[in-house]
Each structure stands twice: as C-alpha cells, then as structure tokens.
Structure 1
C-alpha cells in the first residue's frame, strides 16, 4: 500500500509499520537513485515537498535542499529522479533532487562544506564535488 493517500479529501502520510521500514531501510543506501512523483507541496518556501517513491515508505525533500526561488520547485505530479539523502529511524526517506535545477542555488558550494554522511556519500558518487 502507498504511504501517501487521499482520505476524506486530504492527503495523509500513512507509512508502513516500523518492522517493514526496518527491513526496507537495510536495503537502501545514501546517494542511491530513486524515481518518484511529487505528491505534496504544502507551502512553497516553508517546509519541503512529499514524494511517492513507489515503496511502502514515502520520501521528503527538505526546504533547505530546494531552491530559494519557489518557482523552481517541482510541482505536484512531477515525475523525476532523486538521490537518497538521509535514512533514519523515522519511516521516511529524505531525498535530494537529481536535477540540479531543483536544488538550492548554491548547492555546489554548500555540498563542499558539509561534513555529514549524506554529503560524503553524495560526493563519493559524484566526482565533480
């Protein structure tokens, strides 16, 4: 069952159980590429976007990884590629748009200054950084 579902006219995030998430998470890797569809853009510029990645767990792109200019954000229904940016205990996959036009404007500079595991994994998969 899909985690992003319309219930009574509202889009809700109803992920699979923690057990399903734990099993799925063991098969995912930082910087892994996934296809997805943008399903939720609540307040452009505020928190980020929800993505259906055709798994029982949904994806989310944090506002900090998206362009400041919200006219460059992908719209609901946009099908595109993403990289896994973060995976933790919460049943949700944090994503980074694969298309540089849908990333923060200063991404190249920003990624080179980040020390976390997600940034390191991204840099190791993309030799230009």
Structure 2
C-alpha cells in the first residue's frame, strides 16, 4: 500500500481508457479471481475475472505476459487500478454486451479523469 497522498497523486493522473503496457505478475486462482498487473506505477493494477475469457481460464494471460491494458476504473478502498485487457484475445467474449449492461457510458468516459468519478465495480 502507498500513502493516501501518493494514492491521490496517482489517481489524479489517470484517465479512463489510458493505455499502459503491463506485465502480469500474479494469477492466484485461474478462472476465479483475476490477474494482478505491474504497470510501472507505485499502485498495482488488477483485471477482474469478469473482463477475462470465461470459457477457458487457459486463455487468460499467464504470469510474465507483457501486453497492453486500459484503465477501466479505480478501487479506492484497495488502492488499486482496475484494468481491462486491450488485446481482444484476453478480453471476455461478450465484452460489448457487458459494457451495454454495466457501463453504457464507457465510450464517453474514455479520456476523463478517474479521480472523483465514483465508478463502482459492476
């Protein structure tokens, strides 16, 4: 964990849809939780299970995978940047339907500051 001041600083620099090249550093329970990603900031990144391929956890990125991720939202309580894979091979098969159902404003959120947006986990 980082200090509250550092967390606020990091959040203040983030934009929805901002792309980071990251390295998958941990896949604790394939098919059940999600993956932890190092995106080169003092705060960790995480891709939730709902954004990863559902049919086969073998299609998830494995530890050491380097690929691009986009800022999806932030989890202030955990001081965590929530990401979505940019590469469609690592994205859930029904992403368009998922967005329509849970984040219909996603396209218009892209480029906006995440700080103070109040986005919650779908």
TM exceeding 0.5: yes
Aligned pair count?
109
Deviation at 1:75, TM superposition (A): 0.4
| CA RMSD after TM alignment | 1.9
- What does 1:63-82 correspond to in 2, within 5 Å? 63-68=49-54, 69-82=56-69
Q: 1:30 to 1:39 in 2, by over 3 A?
A: same
Q: Distance in 1 between matches of 2:105 and 2:97?
A: 17
Give the match for residue 85 of structure 2.
Answer: 97
Any conservation in 1 of the 2:61–2:90 contact (CA below 8 Å)?
A: yes
In the alignment, is residue 34 of structure 1 matched against residue 20 of structure 2? yes
Greater Rg over alpha carbons, structure: 1
Which runs of no fewer than 5 residues in structure 1 stay unpaired? 1-14, 125-129
Give the match for residue 57 of structure 1.
Answer: 43
Q: 1:119 to 1:18 in 2, by over 3 A?
A: farther
Which runs of no fewer than 5 residues in structure 2 stay unpaired? 113-122
The more displaced of 45-54 and 85-94 is 85-94
Any conservation in 2 of the 1:86–1:118 contact (CA below 8 Å)?
A: no
